[in-house]
Structures are given as structure tokens and as C-alpha cells.
Structure 1
Amino acid sequence: MDFDRFTVALLQLRPDAPELDEAAAAALQDAHMNHLAELHESGVLLAAGPLLDTDSPFRGLSIFRVGPAEAQALAERDPGVLAGRYSVTVLPWMVPGGAVTFSPTRFPHSAAEAAGD
């Protein structure tokens, strides 16, 4: 049997994350979204999105088409990670060949773009 290999990155809110005012939080979110959009446009990021359980420290999940070391390096360049707000856990993931497919799409570069503004 053939297997497809991906890398999953989990973004976690750090317990020592700096508190941000509304404007700083919005700017950081836009920078984060732009980072993900650029990774997607470059072809290394297949899917990404927020995790909606607000009681969990896990905030987002990304699926990369590169190995764990490269995915870790790319995820650590996220502005939210660089700002000390988030940490990243990277895990290799293997599924039966063809079990998971990703359709072409466009990632928004900002919250305003995601909202359709």
C-alpha cells in the first residue's frame, strides 16, 4: 500500500503570551493570516485554519506538504510565534495514498479580506 505523508502544525497560545490591546491584536492577526496566505501561495501549505474550542490552548492547525523540520522552520516564522504569543508543535502525519486531497483555493491575507471587506 502507498502512503501520503504530510506534516501537521498545531499553534498553541503560550501561557506567558503578552497581553495585546485590540489594535495590536488585530494587526498581529492580519500579519499571521498574510504569513499563511504566502505559504499557501508558495505551495508548501495545503490547509490551515483556526481551532474553535476556546477552552483549549490550541488555536490553529496547518497541514504542510513538506517534512517536519521544514514545516517547523516555516511555522516559527509566523508573526504570532515571533511575537511570543504562540508556540508550535509539529507532527508527521501519514495516511493511505489518496485518502486526503486538497482542492485549489485562495487564502485571505487579512481579517478584512476574510470578511469580504
Structure 2
Amino acid sequence: MRFDQHTVVLLVRPADAPELPQDAVDRLQDAHLAHQAGLVEQGHVLAGGPFLNPDDERLRGFVVLSVDPETARELYHNDPAVRAGRLAVQVMSWMLPEGILRFEGVPVPRSMLEAAAGD
């Protein structure tokens, strides 16, 4: 059997994440979404999004990338939420049977306002 290999990033809230005022959290979330949208537009991100109601509240999101793990680490080192210490990344390779999963290009929100407009 043949396998496809992708790089996966888990976005995790660190135990020592800084407490910020809500307006700063909102600005940081918009900057994070803009960074993520830029990675999608550059073709680095194949799919991604937040977790809803995870058993472990530290788990915040999951991203599948078309780049090698080291490049993924570099890309997410530049994420504003990671730089601010509100998110940390865990990077790994993911193998699955060849062709079992396909990704389609779809637009992603660049801000919380844009995300809310889709509701």
C-alpha cells in the first residue's frame, strides 16, 4: 500500500499563556487569522480550523500543511499568537493511505468579523 504524508500542526494553549485584556485578545485573534489566511493563499496550508469542545481545553486547532515539518515550524514561529505566547505549536508528520483525503481550495476568514459574517 502507498501512503501520502502531510505535516500537521496542533495549536495548543500553553499553561503559562499570558492573560490579556479582551480587546488585546481580539486583536491578536484577528492577527492570527490573517496570518493563517496568508499561509492558505501561499499554498502552504491545505486545511485547518479550531477545535470545538475538546476533552483537553488546551487543544485549540489543527492544521494540515503541504510543507515539511521544519518549514511548518518556521511558518508558525511567525504567527502573532505564537509570538505572543497565547499559542504553542506541536508539529508532526501524518501518514494516511494514498488518495483517501483530498483538499479543495476554499476561502478562509482573515478576521473574526469576516468569520462571523459567514453565519
Q: Place the TM-score, normalised by the shorter chain, in its bin.
A: over 0.9
Residues 58-69 of structure 1: pairs in structure 2 closer than 5 A: 58-69=59-70
Q: 2:32 matched to which residue of 1?
A: 32
What amino acid is aligned across from residue 89 of structure 1 in structure 2? Q
d(CA) in 1 for partners of 2:60, 2:92: 16
Tell me, what secondary structure is at the counterpart of 2:109?
A: coil
Return 5+ residue gaps in structure 2 as ranges.
Answer: none
d(CA) in 1 for partners of 2:76, 2:97: 25
Correspondence 1:21 to 2:21: yes
What amino acid is aligned across from residue 31 of structure 1 in structure 2? A
Residues 36-55 of structure 1: pairs in structure 2 closer than 5 A: 36-53=36-53, 55=56
- Aligned-residue RMSD, C-alpha: 1.3
Identity %: 45
Query: What TM-score, normalized to structure 1?
Result: 0.94
Query: What TM-score, normalized to structure 2?
Result: 0.93
Correspondence 1:76 to 2:77: yes
- Pairwise CA distance, 1:76: 1.6
Tell me, what secondary structure is at the counterpart of 1:61?
A: strand
d(CA) in 2 for partners of 1:77, 1:60: 16
d(CA) in 1 for partners of 2:48, 2:81: 15
Alignment coverage as a number of residue pairs: 117
- Pairwise CA distance, 1:53: 2.5
Q: 2:7 matched to which residue of 1?
A: 7
d(CA) in 1 for partners of 2:101, 2:76: 22
d(CA) in 1 for partners of 2:51, 2:114: 19
d(CA) in 1 for partners of 2:97, 2:76: 25
